[in-house]
Structure 1
């Protein structure tokens, strides 16, 4: 499975980022699976971040709207600017305290990192008011998106994760999602609750969340299934149950399997 990660080599800095920095230090801190990059501008308490996507790969409009809504209730980045030009699209935000849960500091302390991810996700779910949320991330619309993606030829069994059940065809995999588990919640889900998107303060407590471009109301297990799965990618086996313990919930094998399969098929 291809996952987002910290860039390991030289990164070409887009002209917008260079211009925005105005001589301040620029450091590429993340590369996603769409070819998008996140740059840290400046340092210490005056850090700002620029997320950038090449032209034709989408915009950050949906994320900017969600961040502005969520900022009234939880610790998420403040939107400073959002736009696009012929080279690409960008989203500029103010920095939050803390480091990503997959920063080198926390990779050396996985127990503390996993606890922060679980506690942080629970706090986010409790802070964001589902009744007032205008965004939807429930299984029904996501399944329709997965079907459309498959119909466009963008789904393949070639890169199938070994942790998921094997299917002979994509249609059979989609059919397995037709019976949606009764929702547990609903809550306002993060939408990409992988470990890197929780920030952890120096005290080991969660200090905020980033990358909320698909935030919306859904079953809490839509987040939990992916959050626990990401512990395997980032910290190795054995950390799924500690995350659930930190969140304060018992394992749910049915919902976990359902939402991991849905996650994979929606790309």
Structure 2
């Protein structure tokens, strides 16, 4: 997932939702999906037709997760698009936060800790994230994982607390180390080396090197490099 390097065309339904508000393409993913900001107040995620089912899956997960964790409210949807309200704050990879890596690292850890503590495993209807194999090691602790816990998927409020999480299309039950391993790998990608200790301190856990190595390897095999 990257910021678009050039101006992208705005689909008609996105323009209709925006009305007089400014529309900006803010994220482009590997599947050709584009997320448009409507004046920073709302977002519309648009996927190519062949991947439209992924947005249906994400909407189902958001609808379930919002009962337990701070995630965007769905405003409307249609074939290949999902329209949500913005969470208060800025992306954890906004330039404001990339200049404050220790602070934002703690917010990322806080968000995952809150999700893992609040979302009930026994009531979650979603299986393991798509990149985790069926023969994964016995879990240290089963939780409802974000599934794509890279830094851009945390929103941070002005008080440096986690405002919530976005991009929940792979949310499901798995070992908490699936999230923790990928999230900490993403820290170096976005902020440089040296912030993992800050993350684990905020999450209140000691690193499990074996599980970290396992889940990072599975992520890189299935989902590609961290974001």
TM-score interval for Structure 1 and Structure 2 normalised by the shorter chain: over 0.9
Supply the distance in 2 between the matched residues of 1:19 and 1:70 (Cα, whole angstroms): 28
**1 or 2 for the larger relative contact order (CA 8 Å, sep ≥6)?**
1
- 1:9 is matched with 6
User: What is the count of residue pairs matched by the alignment?
Assistant: 222
The 1:138/1:108 distance shift into structure 2, 3 A limit, reads closer
SS of the residue corresponding to residue 52 of structure 2 reads coil
| Aligned residue in 2 for 1:52 | 46
Q: Does 2:100 align with 1:109?
A: yes
Structure 1: which 5+ residue stretches go unaligned? Answer: 145-177
Bigger Rg, structure 1 or 2: 1
- The answer for the alignment partner of 2:68 in structure 1 is 73
* Partner Cα distance (2:18, 2:71) in 1: 22
What's the Cα RMSD here? 1.6
TM-score (norm 2): 0.93
Equivalent position SS for 1:237: coil
Partner of 1:25: 22
How far is 1:138 from its partner? Answer: 6.2
Partner Cα separation in structure 1 for residue 137 and residue 152 of structure 2: 27
Counterpart residue number, 1:156: none
Q: Secondary structure at the match of 2:206?
A: coil
Name the CA distance, whole Å, in 2 between partners of 1:90 and 1:216.
22
Quote the residue 1:211 is aligned against.
167
Q: What's the secondary structure of 1:229's corresponding residue?
A: helix
Aligned mates of 1:253, 1:132 — CA distance in 2: 30
TM norm structure 1: 0.79
Tell which deviates more after alignment, 208-217 or 232-241: 232-241
1:196 aligns to what? 152
Written as runs of structure 1 = structure 2, the 5 A alignment for 1:1-267 is 4-43=1-40, 47-59=41-53, 60-84=55-79, 89-137=80-128, 142-143=132-133, 180-267=136-223
| Partner-residue secondary structure (3-state), 1:255 | helix
Instruction: Classify 1:8/1:205 alpha carbon distance in 2 versus 1 (closer, same or farther; 3 Å).
Output: same
Alignment gaps of 5+ in structure 2: none
